[in-house]
Amino acid sequence: MISKSDLSRDLLRAEYAVRGPIPARAQELEAQGRKIIYCNIGNPLAFPAQRPLTYLRQILCLMEYPALLDDPATAAHFPPDVVSRVRSILERHPPGTGAYSQSAGIPFIRQAVADFIARRDGIPADKDHVILTDGASKGVEAAIVALLRDRNDGILIPIPQYPLYSAEIALRGGKAIGYHLDEAHHWQLREESLASAVARARADGIHPVAIAVINPGNPTGAVLTRENIAMVIRFARANNLAILADEVYQENVYAADRRFHSFARVMHDLGETSVTLFSFHSVSKGFLGECGHRGGYVEFRNIPDDVLAEMVKLQSISLCASIVGQISTYVMVAPPQPGEPSHGRYVQERDAILRSLKARAEVLSRGINAIPGMSLESPQGALYGFVRFELPAEPGVDVATMGEEQRRDYEARRDNAYCMALLEETGICVVPGSGFGQEPGTLHFRTTFLPSQEEIEELVARLKAFHQRYVDALAGNGKAAALLRR
C-alpha cells in the first residue's frame, strides 16, 4: 500500500485553500445539522439567490434528448428560436453531446468565440487561435504546463491571488513569483512591485517567463483601469514575459466609474505584436454561473503557428473539452438576439442577476465597513470581498524579531484560527487571507456575496458580534482566546 511519503513532492507542495480544512469542517458541521452560510467559493448556482438562465437550460435539454424535437408537445414548452437553434447545432455537429469533438473544440463554436471577441473589442479575432476548454481552469493549466520548461522557471502571480495559480505552478515544478497588489489604491498593479518581484526572482536564480493578471480580481473584486493594463503590457514586453489574462468575471462590473477592458483590446491599441497573450473566459461566472457544466475558452495572440500546434497537441491529450460545456460556451458568446422570441426573457434574467449581485456587494461592503476593526475595499466587480481585519498583538509575541517565512507562518496560523473559530461559533464559512497571500502585517479573509441579501445581512450581524468577542478574548484573557481558536 502506498503512503503519503510515496506521493509526488509537487503534489504535496500544492495547496488550494478554497476547498481546504475550513470548508471540510463546514461540511462535517452541516452533516451534524448545523446551518452553514457558505461564502468560501464562487459557485453561484449553489445558492437559491441565483437560478439558471432559462434559454441555456432549454438548449441543453433538447441537445441531451433531441427526440423531443419531433414531439408535437415540444412547441408548448420551448420557444421556436430554441428549437431552431438546437436543430442548427445538430446540423453542424450531428453527433450531439455524446461523442468527442475535434481536440480544439467544435469549429463553429470556436468561430462564435472569435466573433464574440471581435464584437466586444472591435478588433480582429481568429477561430484558429481559440481552444475550447473545461472551464477557464483547464486553459490556465495548459498555459502553465506549456510555459514552465524547468524547475527554475517562474510565473508572476498577484498577491492576493486565486490559488489555482500557485497550486498549478507547484504541481508543474515551477516557482510562483508573488507581486503585491496595492490595497490602498483599489488593488491596482504597481510597476515598482512588478519590478521588485522580478529582481528578487532573478537574484534567487529564478527565470520569470510569464505574468498572471486577474481582471476583474479574485479575491479583491478590483477592476483594472486601461492605463494599468497598458503598464502591464509594456512591463511584459520589457521583461520578455507572456501574459496570462484571467478575464472570467468580465460581465461582473458594478462600479459606475469602472468598465471592463480586455488585454486583447489594449494590446491591439498599443500595436503590441511581440508579447504572447493567453486570455481566459468561462461560463462559470458572469451571470451564467454554470460552474458544473465546465465550459470556457483560451484565446491566443502573438503566438507562432508551431507553438499553437503544440497547444492543440496538449489539448488533444485530454481528447476534447466537455461537449455540454462547449455548447454552454456557445450560448454565452452567441445569446438570443433582438427580435427572437427568447431575447426578452434572456435580457430580463441577465439584468436581474447582475443588479442583484451589485446590490449584495453594496450590502456586504456597507456592513463590513461599519464593524470596528474591519474594512473592505468595496468590490468593483467579480463575486468576492477581501475583508481586512485587525487583531490585538498576542502577549509575548514580537513579530519584529521574526524572519519573513516565520512571520508569514505565524500570521497564517492567526487568520486560520480566526476563520475556524468564526465557522464553529457562527456557521459562516470563509477562506483565510493567507490562502491567497497578503501583505506582511495584515490579516484578511475572502467572502463571496452569493448568498441572498437577507443572509448577507445576517452574516454581517453575526460577524460583528463574533469579531468583538474574539478581539476582547485576545486582548483580555489568553485562556479564553485559546478556546476561541480551537
CB within 8 A of 10, min separation 6: which ones?
170, 171, 172, 173
pLDDT of residue 17: 64
pLDDT of residue 130: 97
Upper half-sphere CA count for residue 66 (Cβ side, 13 Å): 15
Angle between helices 343-369 and 453-476 (to 10 degrees): 20
Number of neighbours of residue 329 by Cβ within 10 angstroms = 33
What's the pLDDT tens digit per position in 17-63?
A: 666 788 889 999 999 999 888 898 888 888 888 899 999 999 999 99
Residues 313 and 356 both lie in one domain: no
Number of neighbours of residue 405 by Cβ within 10 angstroms = 8
Residues 388 and 290 both lie in one domain: no
Angle between helices 21-31 and 404-426 (to 10 degrees): 10
Q: Which alpha helices (H) appear in 149-190, and where do they start and end? A: 164-171
The CATH number linked to 280 is: 3.40.640.10
Residues 11 and 128 both lie in one domain: no
- Domain stops at, among 333, 356, 376: 333
Least Cα distance to 220 among 254, 187, 179 occurs for: 187
3-state secondary structure 105-117: CCHHHHHHHHHHH
Burial 79-111 (b: 16+ CB within 10 A, else e): bebbbebbeebbeebeebbeeebebbbbeebbb
How many folded domains does the chain comprise?
2
pTM of the model: 0.90
Question: Is residue 383's pLDDT more than 70?
Answer: yes
Question: Is residue 480's pLDDT more than 70?
Answer: no
Do 155 and 194 contact (CB within 8 A), yes or no?
no
Residue 99 in any domain: the answer is no
Residue 81 in any domain: the answer is no
Do 350 and 288 contact (CB within 8 A), yes or no?
no
Residues 378 and 296 both lie in one domain: no
Residues 240 and 365 both lie in one domain: no
Q: Which three cell numbers stand for residue 441?
A: 502585517
What's the pLDDT tens digit per position in 302-311?
A: 999 999 999 9
Task: State the chain's mean pLDDT as an integer.
Answer: 91
What's the pLDDT tens digit per position in 147-205?
A: 999 999 999 999 999 988 998 998 898 999 999 999 988 999 999 999 999 999 999 99
CB within 8 A of 261, min separation 6: which ones?
215, 224, 225, 226, 229
Residue 486: pLDDT band by 50, 70, 90 thresholds?
Answer: very low
- The domain in which residue 34 lies consists of 4-49+348-484
